[in-house]
Structure 1
Amino acid sequence: MKQFDEIMQEDIRLINEALDRILTFRGETYDEVIEAMRYSVMNAGKRIRPVLTLEFCRMLGGKPEDALPFACGVEMIHCYSLIHDDLPCMDDDDLRRGKPSCHKQFGEATALLAGDALLTRAFEVMADSALSEKNPAAAVRAIKEMAYFAGADGMVGGQVIDLAIEGKAVSAELLTQMHCLKTSAIIKAACKMGAICAGAAQEDISLAEQYGENLGLAFQIVDDILDIIADEQELGKPIHSDLSNDKTTFITLFGMERAQRMAEEYTRKAYAIVHGKDRGAFLEHLITSLLERRK
């Protein structure tokens, strides 16, 4: 097996090249919104979600070219969510990935429309995939999963809870539910779509979802930790933003040490799901590397 970094870079190259082709300028008077879309998508993201789609497809015997449009779709939906999350009516953040947020660069109206356009373009790309021709039932199922996890029962629902609980006492159960929706939902969609694109059995699709949920919760706890201890320039976005917005986090609720142990436990659960599987070593390394990340 190739080294982890080499596989990661190959996947990111495939994803970036595909996104570049998808988000082309039209030579029209509305190209400003395309520019805003490209600004937010082609801005050095970690590409964790689309890589998960490709690697679950590969691990379960599928072809990465079948999963690539779905990988691009999940990344565009993730980027749309970041654009909207940064808006003044939401988290009101001025910095994203080390650069001005989309609304600071292009204005609130264009940023809002860029997010809308990324969301709809994502579903167009997934529906127009080669898999839709070869195996329309699998493509429709993957698209349905993406729509579900991006909607009111997934990421949007989590954001609603996040806004509603600002400045309020929050139980551990509600905080976990919020992040299962806001953070884990899109990661679960990424993993499940990769499994579906591979034509995997239902048991493996369910395991992919479990991996995604545990990874998402571990990722969120590490994000909460980094909001306290990271350097803003290294992190690429404002630090202490949760505290300034009076938000309950895993750190404020459980303390740093217990939160770290929780992140480690979620990481172990995700690790166990893929341990010993063909090509599972990449996904083992991915989850452990995210626990140790600094940005």
Structure 2
Amino acid sequence: MSFVIEDYLKEAACEVEQAMDKLLPSGKERMFSRHAGLESTGLLIESMRYSLFAGGKRIRPILALATVETLGGNRQAALPVACSLELIHTYSLIHDDLPAMDDDDFRRGKPTNHKVYGEAVAVLAGDALLTLAFQVLSQVEMPQREKELLQLIRILSDASGYAGMIGGQMADIQAEGKQPDPQTLEFIHRHKTGDLLRAAVQMGAVFAGANEQEILHLTLYAMNLGLAFQIQDDLLDVEGNADQLGKSTGADEAHGKLTYPSLFGLEESHKKLNETTQQALSALNHLPHDTTVLREIANYLLTRVN
């Protein structure tokens, strides 16, 4: 039977969502909280779940699981690691949509969190998801592998902190309306988007017990994949369909964002997208494993429409 990437992504996303559903109280438990006089806690959890289960490709957790699987590790056991990545990603989206940031009204075809629950609740929901990510990761069962567990926590914190995703977001804000600069553009893309994708692959590799050389090649794959992913996002904001994207197009230009199309034009951006994807795929040639899934994920992201 031939491998179908869409089927793989759907199955893996379902596993991740089922695992995440267990991390937050169910509807009945939220009702109990209200009866116990903790309405505020119930509302906060409702807001967290609203964004966490608003859809999405689940690419970051799937990349972690695919890496574990590629290296012969236990995919089911790695689900908490995968979930921690999606919790971080979701928190970042909630905050990124706020009026003080990108001021977006829709995300994945639904009103953004602050449009439904208000800005204060949205901020706290993001904060709570961020905190929950590290709680979940700290509880991953890795007997006699405490050093590797600490490494997982360090990778995620580095990738999502001031020197990673948040640093990229800061640079993105400061670059708005300023003279285009290729170095700044690559810094923003590699950190704001790329670092969490890189972390997903690295965390999967560490969980599966990869050696240093395997981690090196997988890191090169992930770094190029992360850059390609954001270039495609830039292109979709110009060329994409708003209904397929689940949000308005043209937002980057409206906010004066520094993007590949704004700096290099559409033709050069497509060329860079293809080159970067090929560099990601080439890095996998050095691995003594079947890398079909990781390759198919890269090719899928190259041609995605949302």
After superposition, the C-alpha distances for 1:85-117 in whole angstroms (9 at most, x for unaligned) are 000000000100000000001100110000000
- Equivalent in the alignment of 2:263: 253
Q: Aligned match of 2:236 in 219, 226, 234? A: 226
- Equivalent in the alignment of 1:238: 248
Query: What is the CA-CA distance between 1:2 and the residue it aligns to?
Result: 4.4
- Equivalent in the alignment of 1:282: 293
2:25 matched to 1:14?
no
Whole-angstrom distance in 2 between the partners of 1:221 and 1:47: 18
- Equivalent in the alignment of 2:59: 48
Query: What is the CA-CA distance between 1:40 and the residue it aligns to?
Result: 0.5
* Partner secondary structure for residue 288 of structure 1: helix
Whole-angstrom distance in 1 between the partners of 2:225 and 2:52: 22
Whole-angstrom distance in 2 between the partners of 1:61 and 1:120: 30
Q: Aligned match of 2:202 in 189, 192, 195? A: 192
Extract unaligned runs of 5+ from structure 1: none
Q: Aligned match of 2:106 in 83, 95, 101? A: 95
Whole-angstrom distance in 1 between the partners of 2:175 and 2:24: 36
- Equivalent in the alignment of 1:165: 175
Q: How does 1:41-80 map to 2 (within 5 A)?
A: 41-80=52-91
Deviation >4 Å, runs of 4+: none
- Equivalent in the alignment of 2:150: 140
| Aligned residues: CA RMSD | 1.3
> What amino acid does structure 1 have at the position aligned with 2:63?
L
Query: What is the CA-CA distance between 1:60 and the residue it aligns to?
Result: 1.2
Whole-angstrom distance in 2 between the partners of 1:281 and 1:269: 16
Whole-angstrom distance in 1 between the partners of 2:109 and 2:25: 23
Query: Is contact 2:84–2:134 with CA below 8 Å preserved after alignment?
Result: yes
> What amino acid does structure 2 have at the position aligned with 1:291?
L
Q: How many residues align?
A: 294
Whole-angstrom distance in 1 between the partners of 2:291 and 2:59: 16
- Equivalent in the alignment of 2:124: 113
Whole-angstrom distance in 2 between the partners of 1:227 and 1:200: 37
* Partner secondary structure for residue 118 of structure 1: helix
Whole-angstrom distance in 1 between the partners of 2:5 and 2:56: 18
Structure-2 change in CA distance of 1:53 and 1:264 (3 Å): same
- Equivalent in the alignment of 1:267: 277
Whole-angstrom distance in 1 between the partners of 2:216 and 2:46: 38
Whole-angstrom distance in 1 between the partners of 2:205 and 2:303: 26
- Equivalent in the alignment of 2:139: 128
Larger Rg: 2
After superposition, the C-alpha distances for 1:15-63 in whole angstroms (9 at most, x for unaligned) are 0100111122443221111111111111111000000000111111211
TM-score (normalizing by structure 1):
0.96
> What amino acid does structure 2 have at the position aligned with 1:157?
G
Whole-angstrom distance in 2 between the partners of 1:234 and 1:4: 19
Whole-angstrom distance in 1 between the partners of 2:21 and 2:144: 25
Query: What is the CA-CA distance between 1:184 and the residue it aligns to?
Result: 0.2
Extract unaligned runs of 5+ from structure 2: none
Query: What is the CA-CA distance between 1:278 and the residue it aligns to?
Result: 2.9
